[in-house]
Amino acid sequence: MKSSSAPAKRRLLLALPQSLYDLSSGAAVSTRLLVYQLAAAGWAVHALCTSATESGQLGLPPEGARWPAVCRTALPAGKAGWPPRWLIDDDGLQVELWELPAGTRQQWAEQVGDAFDARILQLLQELAPQVYLSYGAEQRDHRLAQAARAAGSRVVLALHNLAYLQRPLPVHDALLMPSDWLAARYRGVSAQPFGTLLPPMWPADTAVSRHDPVFFTFFNPEAAKGAELVLRLAAALPELPFLIVGGRAGPAAVAAQARAIGLDAAALTNVTLSPGGVPVRELLALTRAVLVPSLVEEAAGRVAAEALANGIPALVSDSGALPEIAQPGSQVLALRRAANGLARVDAQAVEDWAAVLRCWGTEAGWQAAAEHAQASAGRWDAAAQTARANAWFSGLL
């Protein structure tokens, strides 16, 4: 009688100096949810990251109701120069997280760069991953990609913005993009295969269980994201409630931007400020519509996708990949451009956006928009996305 055994799991190593639990970073969130999907599809995924975040908040997920799948275990002291480390078991994903001081952003490399890179090299030898997944184009990223190739791994670079157009890419076997728009911008940059996987969803993170449609919600109030337009809308529509969610920019930045356009943020009593770090499902549970008035070219538009996955309307600008992500299911409003081609906020933009919000502020208007969004929610089904992600990564082997 022949003995049978389960097929060996495909192995993937994800290495990022940024925390996978950086909720202010769409790239970090999308990468984490992508590897959730791969783990669910049968991949053995090991992730290595630090607690550094774009906002400076400590990127260490707490155990408890907000992160019900997270189980944290302190790892034994490592080599000299290593910080405290945690092993996080999270919904089938194994994460080794290096805890750095709160407030750490880009300066992580000054603190543990060499030790962190040495740990990646060690894991490449110990785990023998078939796929090495990362992003970045610093000198260290080039060295690590070459080492992964030498160890027999397929190197996948996940690109989430246009910055890499100005820099040589590390050696790679495939490029992964969150939109066809971004993939088109990178055509000709690499002779290796391109893949497009739309921003991934994961019910435990992104699914709203109970919905109370109250706020017009705006995430990450930076000038480039359209904060001026949202503040002008709040001033023009005092009868409508707005929720501004901090990210890389927080309350001080909101107040400064309001002053710059002649508004007093404290006088906008219809605006509620939320700190960063709140799970998106909790914010969307109170959201009537998501506003994404970006002035810069967006590589995807994760918050619009998260809204649509829950049947919540989104109103977006025509910058970058936003129309691709938001349609069908949402409304796109074009912004006028300055002579240099950059989108700008003017009186007409305020009038156009305010007209839609007034409509969506009524029960009939919002219901029609919500039905339109709900009809497109299947595009963001996590099970279907998992199958597509598994097929694409398996095709690299």
Residue scoring higher pLDDT (5 or 93): 93
DSSP state of 65: T
User: Which of 141-145, 283-287, 322-326, 335-339 comes out lowest in average pLDDT?
Assistant: 335-339
Residue 3's alpha-carbon distances to 6, 8, 9, 10, 116, in angstroms, are 10, 15, 18, 21, 42
pLDDT value at residue 77:
86
Both structure tokens of 145: 């990609």
pLDDT tens for residues 189-205? 999 999 999 999 999 99
Coil, strand or helix at 217: strand
pLDDT at residue 4 tops 80? no
**Which pLDDT score is estimated for 6?**
60
The answer to whether residue 2 scores a pLDDT higher than 60 is: no
- Mean local confidence (pLDDT), 110-131: 94
Q: Which of 181, 178, 128, 212 is nearest to 297 (CA)?
A: 181
Q: What is the mean pLDDT of the chain?
A: 93
* Residue ranges of domains in the chain: 11-200+384-394, 203-380
Q: How confident is the model at residue 340 (pLDDT cuts 50, 70, 90)?
A: confident
pTM of the model: 0.94
Residue 368: per-residue pLDDT: 97
CA contacts within 13 A on the Cβ side of 69: 12
Give the mean pLDDT of 209-233.
96
Q: Are 264 and 308 in contact (CB under 8 A)?
A: no
- Mean pLDDT throughout 39-54? 95
pLDDT for the residue numbered 265: 93
Give the right CATH number for 11-200+384-394 from 3.20.20.370, 3.30.470.20, 3.40.50.720, 3.40.50.2000.
Answer: 3.40.50.2000
**pLDDT interval class at 3 (50, 70, 90):** very low
Residue 67 has pLDDT above 80, yes or no: no
Supply angle C-alpha 288, 26, 32, rounded to 5: 115
62 pLDDT more than 50: yes
What number of helices (H) and strands (E) belong to the chain?
Answer: 13, 15
Domains 11-200+384-394 and 203-380 share a fold: yes
Give me the pLDDT at residue 5, please.
Answer: 58
Write down the H helix ranges in the chain: 26-40, 108-127, 139-150, 180-185, 203-206, 227-236, 251-260, 280-284, 302-309, 322-326, 347-360, 363-375, 382-394
Q: In what order do the strands lie in the sheet with 44-50?
A: 70-74, 85-90, 93-98, 44-50, 11-15, 131-134, 154-158, 174-177, 194-196
Token duo for residue 118? 């040495």
SS3 assignment, position 339: coil
56-60, 61-65, 184-188, 369-373, range with the lowest pLDDT:
61-65
- State mean pLDDT over 307-314: 98
pLDDT value of residue 7 = 66
Tokens 């269980």 correspond to what residue? 209
The rounded percent of the chain whose pLDDT value lies above 70 is: 98
Exposed / middle / buried, residue 267 (Cβ in 10 Å: 0-12, 13-18, 19+): exposed
What local confidence, expressed as pLDDT, does residue 24 receive? 87
Interatomic CA distance for residues 304 and 251, integer angstroms: 22
Cα atoms in the Cβ-side hemisphere of radius 13 Å centred on 361: 15
Of the candidate CATH numbers 3.40.50.2000, 3.90.870.10, 3.50.30.50, 3.30.70.870, the domain formed by 203-380 belongs to 3.40.50.2000
In angstroms, the CA 238 to CA 377 distance is 31
pLDDT at 238 over 90: yes
Q: What per-residue confidence (pLDDT) applies to 1?
A: 46
User: What is the β-pairing status of strands 331-333 and 314-317?
Assistant: parallel
Query: pLDDT confidence of 388, banded at 50, 70, 90?
Result: very high
| Average pLDDT of the residues in 63-84 | 84
Does the bond joining 129 to the residue before it have cis omega, within 30 degrees of 0?
no
Mean pLDDT, rounded, for 37-61: 93
